[in-house]
Structure 1
């Protein structure tokens, strides 16, 4: 018995669909399970580096003196060229000395008078002393002559002190450079009335052969740096400091760390570090902002991993994947230190000989099988300073 034509097509479609479905299931069942990931690893070995710490800094004058008058008078002349180099004790200004020279003359006359009186009383005292030995005068007369002589001596000392003071004031009419350096703009001109201990200065002198670089660092970071410095063998080694200028260029001269402040700022919680940098060409000016690089006293071996190998959790905690002896991955939390080029110094979490995964990081998970395609040995980053 034959089926109607209208029933043949649906039956054919059903059979075809069944066959196709069966083939599809067979294909899915026969797909191979995903194999191990292929990765490259870094065989960790210590890399010898002389690490640096970068801090913002500001240039300060090595020595800076504000020149002020020490006596009152009319400014007679300016004896230096603005912007020129001056030496200590060079005369910069001169105040009219007439009054002070008169005081010196008067003090000299008073001293001469006192000396004459001293000589007269001395002779009287000697004469009474001889008479007393011969018992030709009384003890009272000798005591009176001796007292007059001692009073005359005291008067001489007083007049000598007055003369010294008058000479000192006269010398102050020549206003001298307190230090050697570059003299600045003069803020007064001839004919100006100057007064002793005035608040406004006449000019400034800045010593520019060397300059300071003042840097700010948190008290916590300073504590860590000091602990690291304490572990170095040479406790008296100079700590080199280099700087980068505002335009990004490296300054040629290298200085050294001078000291760190002994107190923490109440407002910022930071400690001031100060370095001395040579400045032979006056390139560095007071007030300039720079980037300072403080080098460790000596080179040491550190474990270094590429930045691309470090993964971070949602909270920002860093970790890396290593391959164990079973060729399976293991996620290890790490503590990162200095940044050197495109790498991180690992302070904690890894050991010498660990195999750090450096490729296929995006597909990496904990405890999965991997195949190592190539191994790379640790080398110093290109921008790291080596000894």
Structure 2
């Protein structure tokens, strides 16, 4: 009985080895796998006028902090908060009583000095006549003339005192230094104001025109300057479109004013400033916007879909192309601006090359492929009119 079991076990073991050998033999004799099937895109130039997008902040064209120039008790506020005022409009009235008294005192001192001057002049004239007749000494005439000159100087001093007193009296009316929209009042009637105090009474912002301050890296600015090099356009001829916080386009066109000559030590950026009309006060001081600067002219670019760009472990982008022998070629590329769902290829490809756009997970370099279908660049990637994904701008 045990012998029969042993024989059956031996036959089973032998049969397993035979089946295993047949399986290995079957795998070794499988027919070789055929070429990989792919779709390709034939590169053709696309004409685009690119733009550069920059984050920006609205800055008031003019802004003034109103402070008192004399000390006194605030009597009244003479403007409506948030209203438009003109330069010279009276905003606050300080109690003028003490300054009016100073003016009257200065007027009296001036009158006294003038009377003294008149008396001294008569004395000097009288001594001059006596000296001609040799009825007095030269010393007496010199003393009388010196007293007259001293009286004249005293009149000038008292006139200056009166002018200063009138100036201080005028400062009791705190006036708008510029035209614009006046803000909230930081003080109320009865408050003690001091000359040149640190805290301001209110602010005036002029927003009929506003600045758009943008930040751009120094490297990107250098590249943009190269783009504009040789053109006749000045900074004020370069239009900039403004995108508001809700995504709508502002209905006024801004124009580049200047770019700073200093690079920020902390951020490595340069400040660009544009100016734009703001007739309806839609742009408020401090508002965040996006600025689009159009490059000077439309040019031909090679654009590939983003999906065909493969990156190495180090992040280096490359693209697979198919050569004349239907073999794949791995090419490193330099990518530029993003255009909708595509990338502009600055280096690495030329027009007419066939870029692999399908089955990329199985594509390797230098393998034979079969092209199932092909398309040109205009069909695969719609040609937009701008590419707002970088940052700009120029200086004359």
> TM class, shorter-chain normalised?
0.7 to 0.9
Note the C-alpha offset of 1:80: 0.7
Aligned pairs (5 A) from 1:281-360: 281-324=280-323, 326=325, 328-351=327-350, 353-357=351-355, 359-360=357-358
Structure 1 residues not aligned, in runs of 5+: 1-12
2:57 corresponds to 1:34 = no
Comparing 215-224 and 173-182, the one that deviates more: 215-224
Query: CA deviation digits over 1:258-307, x for unaligned, max 9?
Result: 33333333333333333333332222223333333233344444333332
Comparing 51-60 and 103-112, the one that deviates more: 51-60
**2:28 and 2:365 mapped to 1: Cα distance?**
32
Partner of 1:215: 214
2:273 corresponds to 1:271 = no
**2:349 and 2:131 mapped to 1: Cα distance?**
102
Superposed CA RMSD in Å reads: 3.3
Partner of 2:386: 384
* Contact 1:304–1:345 (Cα < 8 Å) also in 2: yes
Note the C-alpha offset of 1:383: 5.3
SS of the residue corresponding to residue 245 of structure 2 reads coil
Runs of 4+ with deviation above 6 angstroms: 24-27
Partner of 1:47: 47
1:46–1:122 CA distance, 2 compared to 1 (3 A): farther
Note the C-alpha offset of 1:220: 3.5
**1:25 and 1:365 mapped to 2: Cα distance?**
24
What TM-score, normalized to structure 2? Answer: 0.79
**2:152 and 2:298 mapped to 1: Cα distance?**
71
* Contact 2:127–2:140 (Cα < 8 Å) also in 1: yes
Comparing 240-249 and 86-95, the one that deviates more: 240-249
1:127–1:276 CA distance, 2 compared to 1 (3 A): same
Comparing 371-380 and 284-293, the one that deviates more: 371-380
Number of residue pairs matched by the alignment: 364
Partner of 2:155: 156
* Contact 2:323–2:354 (Cα < 8 Å) also in 1: no
SS of the residue corresponding to residue 267 of structure 2 reads coil
**2:192 and 2:168 mapped to 1: Cα distance?**
16
What TM-score, normalized to structure 1? Answer: 0.80
**2:278 and 2:226 mapped to 1: Cα distance?**
31
* Contact 1:66–1:202 (Cα < 8 Å) also in 2: yes
Partner of 2:5: none
Structure 2 residues not aligned, in runs of 5+: 1-14, 389-396
* Contact 2:215–2:269 (Cα < 8 Å) also in 1: yes
**1:69 and 1:139 mapped to 2: Cα distance?**
55
**2:98 and 2:133 mapped to 1: Cα distance?**
54
**1:274 and 1:82 mapped to 2: Cα distance?**
30
Note the C-alpha offset of 1:326: 5.0
Partner of 2:63: 64
* Contact 1:339–1:345 (Cα < 8 Å) also in 2: yes
SS of the residue corresponding to residue 284 of structure 2 reads coil
* Contact 2:216–2:270 (Cα < 8 Å) also in 1: yes
* Contact 1:309–1:361 (Cα < 8 Å) also in 2: no
Query: CA deviation digits over 1:323-347, x for unaligned, max 9?
Result: 4455544333222222222222233
* Contact 2:43–2:302 (Cα < 8 Å) also in 1: no
Aligned pairs (5 A) from 1:25-174: 28-29=30-31, 34-35=34-35, 37-45=37-45, 47-49=47-49, 51-174=50-173
**2:199 and 2:206 mapped to 1: Cα distance?**
20
**1:153 and 1:347 mapped to 2: Cα distance?**
83
